[in-house]
């Protein structure tokens, strides 16, 4: 039944109310006469609140957590591609085209900075670097971004011995994971008629500095996925805002074992930093009733990196071979070991840029979650 809170407040507040003889009622008599109306309105309000709770109970909230650059936003975009309409609107495609071009230039600058960091001499490349920077500034001034000519120049820089040498040591520098992908696609991406593909969009990178929410249907359940920022300043907002969360999806960058954590006060790599965050999440009283999904992500990059950096260099306790299977299982057990013994955790290995892999893993874990939560949530 519809009701008006403002109307009820006015009627209760107006002490000048009178009876049918026009006699002004004293406050006590007014309260007595209005009590049935107030009870009726209170019942209507409570009915409305109960209805809201009932509707909300049909939505399962998933909180997406993890450290910086763990792949959280990529997983969020995968949900948009798999369970919604993807990224098809012209304004979306235009946004990602500009973002991708920005990523390519960011990688260019990161490679230059990386050469300086690991002491690779760029003297013979300075002319080409200045030319690229000049043409990029001109393109931006003219209202564009990258173009075929810039693509050719960037390709020449990428193929240079200096850039190839620093890329071989990419784990030592700050470099976007998608560097090799984009610089292998410059001919296509720098065309004036370039339209981003779903894979391009998944590979694009923009830091999450706020809270992003997307809602979608999964079987008979309505899911609300909440992606929060990975930076330390954002993590302070995680727990107290989400006491009604049913599922926590924690994303880990497996390849982070070889990278020093930017925000670490001590010599800590990204994987160790993620381990500490995961321990905090798994022992949180606020989230103690939430299902905990652990996505050990970037399996493809992790496998490549093992050929260059021994896992034992970062985790001295590891005494296995430097191959994918023993290494990934060691890390999985490492994360499970910091959680309470009886804490229900669903661990999975993922490659977030692989749509088939994410769809299969997400379906498997959510089917398990929904099966276990059917009685409590009424989602089945």
Domains, the chain, with CATH or none: 5-54 (no CATH), 58-86+207-372 (3.40.50.300), 90-195 (1.10.400.10)
Per the structure block, which two tokens stand in for 127?
A: 């002319």
Average pLDDT on 224-240 reads: 64
| Residue spans of alpha helices (H) in the chain | 5-13, 27-57, 72-83, 90-117, 126-141, 148-158, 161-168, 179-183, 186-189, 198-203, 232-235, 270-282, 299-306, 311-314, 324-337, 355-377
Average pLDDT over residues 315-335: 95
The pLDDT assigned to 47 comes to 72
DSSP 124: G
Is 114 or 229 the better-scoring residue by pLDDT? 114
Binding residues: 73, 177-178, 202-208, 227-231, 297-300, 352
- Note whether 344 and 363 are within 8 A (CB): no
Q: What is the pLDDT of residue 153?
A: 98
Q: At 239, is the pLDDT very low, low, confident or very high (cuts 50, 70, 90)?
A: low
- The whole-angstrom separation of Cα 94 and Cα 196 is 8
**Which neighbouring-strand residues pair with 60?**
223
Binding residues for GTP, as ranges, are 177-178, 202-208, 227-231, 297-300, 352
pLDDT tier at 207, thresholds 50, 70, 90? confident
> What is the rounded average pLDDT of the residues 308-337?
95
**CA pair distance 351, 63, nearest whole angstrom:** 19
* Binding-site sequence positions for Mg(2+): 73, 208
259 pLDDT tier (thresholds 50, 70, 90)? confident
Helix (H) or strand (E) holding 225: strand 221-228
- For the ranges 18-27, 43-52, 296-305, which has the lowest average pLDDT? 18-27
Residue 201 backbone dihedrals phi, psi, to 5 degrees: -65, -40
23 secondary structure, DSSP code: P
Cβ neighbours of 199 (radius 10 Å): 14
């Amino acid at each position: 039944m519809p009701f008006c809170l403002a109307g009820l407040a006015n009627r209760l507040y107006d002490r000048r109310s009178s009876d049918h003889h026009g006699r002004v009622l004293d406050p006590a008599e007014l309260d007595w006469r209005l009590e049935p109306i107030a009870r009726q309105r209170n019942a209507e309000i409570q009915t409305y609140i109960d209805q809201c709770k009932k509707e909300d109970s049909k939505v399962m909230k998933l909180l997406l957590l993890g450290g910086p650059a763990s792949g959280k936003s990529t997983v969020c975009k995968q949900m948009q591609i798999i369970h919604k309409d993807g990224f098809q609107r012209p304004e979306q495609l235009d946004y990602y085209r500009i973002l991708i071009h920005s990523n390519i230039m960011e990688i260019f600058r990161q490679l230059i900075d990386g050469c300086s960091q690991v002491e690779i001499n760029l003297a013979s490349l300075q002319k080409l670097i200045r030319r690229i920077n000049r043409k990029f500034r001109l393109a931006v001034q003219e209202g564009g971004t990258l173009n075929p000519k810039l693509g050719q120049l960037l390709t020449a820089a990428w193929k240079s011995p200096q850039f190839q040498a620093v890329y071989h040591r990419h784990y030592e520098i700050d470099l976007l994971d998608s560097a090799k992908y984009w610089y292998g696609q410059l001919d296509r991406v720098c065309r004036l008629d370039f339209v981003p593909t779903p894979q391009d969009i998944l590979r694009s990178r923009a830091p999450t500095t706020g809270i992003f929410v997307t809602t979608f249907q999964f079987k008979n359940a309505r899911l609300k996925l909440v992606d929060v920022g990975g930076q330390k300043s954002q993590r302070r907002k995680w727990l107290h805002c989400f006491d009604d969360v049913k599922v926590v999806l924690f994303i880990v960058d497996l390849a982070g074992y070889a990278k020093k954590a930017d925000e670490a006060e001590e010599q800590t790599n990204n994987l160790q930093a993620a381990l500490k965050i995961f321990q905090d999440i798994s022992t949180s009283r606020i989230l103690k009733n939430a299902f905990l999904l652990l996505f050990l992500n970037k399996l493809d990059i992790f496998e490549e990196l093992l050929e260059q950096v021994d896992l034992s260099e970062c985790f001295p306790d590891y005494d296995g071979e430097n191959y994918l299977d023993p290494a990934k299982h060691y890390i999985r057990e490492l994360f499970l070991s910091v959680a309470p013994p009886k804490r229900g955790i669903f661990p999975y290995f993922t490659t977030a840029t692989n749509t088939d892999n994410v769809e299969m893993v997400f379906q498997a874990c959510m089917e398990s979650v929904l099966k276990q939560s059917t009685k409590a949530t009424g989602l089945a």
